[in-house]
Amino acid sequence: MQWETVIGLEVHVQLATKSKIFSGASTTFGAAPNTQACAIDLAMPGTLPVVNEQALRYAIMFGLAINAEINQRSVFDRKNYFYPDLPKGYQTTQLDHPIVGPGVVEIPLSDGSHKSVRIHHAHLEEDAGKSLHDDFHGMSGIDLNRAGTPLIEIVSEPDMRNAEEAIAFAKKLHAIVTSLGISDGEMAQGSMRFDVNVSVRPKGQNEYGTRTETKNLNSFRFMEKAIALEVARQIDLIEDGGSVKQETRLYNGDTGEARSMRSKEEANDYRYFPCPDLLPVEIDDAVIQELRDNLPELPDAKAARFIARYGLSDYDAELLSSDRATAEYYETVVKACDDSKLAANWVSGELSARLNADETSIAHSPVTAPQLAGLIVRIKDNTISGKIAKQVFEAMWNREGDADTIIESKGLKQMSDSGELEAIVDQVLADNPDVVEQYRAADDKKRKKLLGGFMGPIMKATKGQANPGMVNQILVKKLNT
């Protein structure tokens, strides 16, 4: 049978506010445990929440970016459950009256087409703390630094039909929130986390199959793997005569395996009710208008601008506008080296590959944008060849200095002295008299190929530093006389 996959996403995005959603404690990542938790975060008796206005503004900005309705009256609710990293015994969230209503996100597909994914709503809520289960002599440690960090939870409709679409959607959300500057988008630090709802159904069937939810995936790669795993599991189950049970599942990135966390029957009754400590949030038209007027450039507009202004391909433009840090990096490089194509090739090529390999983000790139521009300038003025440039880039990545320093200290400057090069060319031609003969007897097409054959030994003799353009000229001149 032909199966169709149906995927919906719930995406938690940490907002980049300075302080927490209901307290004045800092949200900076990586502090010593419990040093960024105040009396309110600890749910000390008598303490009360006050909504962080910036969190409201960020949520509204997201809504505007996806052309969603902004609910001018939204309500915070209490979601009740006991867990040690949830100090109040309830999470303050929004259930029936979220701040952002239905909207749409356009995603690019690999065949060049686009697809609309509908957003059901997005709401504000607080993050929980962290439970640490090792090194406490059989006890658990609780770190409440993260408790109260503002989140928006973005809930999509089940509009995606395969992992590729889900990833494209997730990446687009990442691009939107980072372009808006409402989240740092640092996946490794948990700034964006995905819950994936997956079901399968026979192709052509209208009703949805029973879905499962795989929670808390914090990378695109894990998401892709978890979806593939779950789709295969569900199809196997059904094809073996069984049925899918509605449940919440956990994917383990280390083992690449998933397991059931709780079934529908075991699900908590969260006893939601409106939080009496917080008044309903009322948003003025003026605030919405002000945010709309000052909305930063969004990824789609940015991509269009990159194509028009820098002459980039659709692919490069999409890639380079995919998050604010990358776009800013790229534009800084272009400005400093004045070559948008070379800059695009390097940022989306070598740099991007290296970042991926090291699992780091462009914000933490050891090679800064001005440094990369410095390297490109040296390619353009023929100080080094593109090939040597990769070597220089590698050294820059290892923090050995900027391009000029490395070129100097490693003696990688391109050999452009015609006398020196002529001597080397003469030697290589003398070593290969038969090839010289072949060349002279050949037609244009074959000559080109044979000419290339001389490049290898010449580059070897110059440790790759020979200026390829000049070598070419010298070769042609010598062979044609």
Please enumerate in sequence order all residues whose Cβ is within 8 A of that of 111, keeping only pairs 6 or more positions apart, or say none: none
CA 129, CA 36: separation in Å to the nearest integer?
11
Cα–Cα separations (whole angstroms), residue 204 to 155, 207, 245: 25, 9, 22
The answer to whether residue 188 forms part of the interface with another protein (CB under 8 A) is: no
**Token duo for residue 67:** 């052309």
Using the rule CB under 8 A, which residue among 18, 73, 89, 408 binds another protein?
89
**Token duo for residue 465:** 């530093």
CA 263, CA 174: separation in Å to the nearest integer?
30
The answer to whether residue 95 forms part of the interface with another protein (CB under 8 A) is: no
The answer to whether residue 370 forms part of the interface with another protein (CB under 8 A) is: no
- Say how many residues touch another protein, by CB under 8 A: 29
Nearest to 29 by CA among 173, 149, 139: 149
Q: Which is nearer to another protein, 82 or 286 (CB)?
A: 82
**Least separation in angstroms between CB 129 and another protein:** 10
**Least separation in angstroms between CB 389 and another protein:** 57
**Least separation in angstroms between CB 48 and another protein:** 5
The answer to whether residue 150 forms part of the interface with another protein (CB under 8 A) is: no
Query: What residues from 130 to 149 belong to the interface with another protein (CB under 8 A)?
Result: 140, 142
- Which residues on adjacent β-strands are paired with residue 354? none
Nearest to 34 by CA among 121, 160, 147, 175: 147
Q: Which is nearer to another protein, 84 or 253 (CB)?
A: 84
Rounded to the nearest 5 percent, the helix, strand and coil shares of the chain are 40, 20, 40
Selected range binding another protein among 210-218, 273-281, 394-402, 406-414, rule: CB under 8 A: 273-281
The answer to whether residue 279 forms part of the interface with another protein (CB under 8 A) is: yes
Nearest to 216 by CA among 254, 252, 185, 246: 252
**Least separation in angstroms between CB 78 and another protein:** 5
Per-residue binding letters, 240-269, with another protein (x by CB under 8 A): -----------------------------x
- Cβ atoms 101, 73 nearer than 8 A: no
**Least separation in angstroms between CB 322 and another protein:** 38
Q: How many CB atoms lie within 10 A of CB 263?
A: 12
Q: Which is nearer to another protein, 271 or 448 (CB)?
A: 271
**Least separation in angstroms between CB 145 and another protein:** 14
The answer to whether residue 280 forms part of the interface with another protein (CB under 8 A) is: no
Selected range binding another protein among 40-48, 181-189, 348-356, 450-458, rule: CB under 8 A: 40-48
The answer to whether residue 49 forms part of the interface with another protein (CB under 8 A) is: yes
Cα–Cα separations (whole angstroms), residue 194 to 63, 105, 253: 19, 16, 13
The answer to whether residue 315 forms part of the interface with another protein (CB under 8 A) is: no
Q: What is the dihedral of CA 213, 218, 221, 222, to 10 degrees?
A: -40
The answer to whether residue 273 forms part of the interface with another protein (CB under 8 A) is: yes
List contacts with another protein (CB under 8 A).
39, 42-51, 78, 80, 82, 84, 87-90, 140, 142, 269, 271-273, 276-279
